[in-house]
Amino acid sequence: MKQSKIIAITGSIASGKSQVTNFLKQLYYKVIDSDIISRDIINEREVIEKIKSYFGENLYSEGVLDRSALASIIFNDREKRDLLDSITHPLIYKRISEKIEEYKREKIVFVDIPLLIENGTKSYGMNFDEIWLVYADKETQIRRLMSRDNISYDYANIKISSQMSMEEKRKYADIILDNRGDLNELKDKVLKALNRLNK
């Protein structure tokens, strides 16, 4: 049996990645969402115990993680962020691999991984046939984030600046889906990329 093509989809905050993955789902492609997997893993007993041990018991209330409190702890502390990643990422990638195996009859499987490029080689043995980057320039990101989250320009700028720049990410992408225009333009670009894959 021919192996599935495994395509990673990545981007940055407010670049429009979810618009791409939602469109792919509408076209009946399988999309594995690493954020959903992460949310499941963070509530598993083994992970709960490690997070309590390293970050404090008070992050959980009745077994539910206060995600915003954890985010504020790791936002400006690279060491703590790396520590959290070391707890969760091996499990996330293991779960992704299991999902890929589940979908092995599909011609193409997409994996939505927001911080794929930032993680560098820490993909725990996973190999992607291509990386698709959903791109928007910084000003477009800021404008969208302000509208989406109802926040100030300065705060939107801080959040975006905390991530690797889109210009840097472009260097690692096989396909760049430029999302500075409207949704119909983005869909056209996705269809062109799919046509090339399906040849």
Integer Cα distance of 169 and 109 in angstroms: 22
Q: Determine whether the annotation assigns residue 17 to a binding site.
A: yes
Integer Cα distance of 199 and 135 in angstroms: 24
Token pair belonging to 3: 């192996």
Integer Cα distance of 183 and 186 in angstroms: 5
Q: Determine whether the annotation assigns residue 97 to a binding site.
A: no
Residue 122 per-residue DSSP state:
-
Locate tokens 């502390």: which residue?
77
- Strand locations in the chain, DSSP E? 5-10, 30-33, 60-61, 64-65, 108-112, 130-135, 175-178
Whether the Cβ atoms of residue 108 and residue 197 lie closer than 8 Å to each other: yes
Q: Determine whether the annotation assigns residue 163 to a binding site.
A: no
Token pair belonging to 103: 């979908």
Residue 152 per-residue DSSP state:
-
Q: Determine whether the annotation assigns residue 14 to a binding site.
A: yes
Q: Determine whether the annotation assigns residue 18 to a binding site.
A: yes
Whole-angstrom Cα Rg for the chain: 18
Feature table: binding site: 14-19
Feature table: binding site for ATP: 14-19
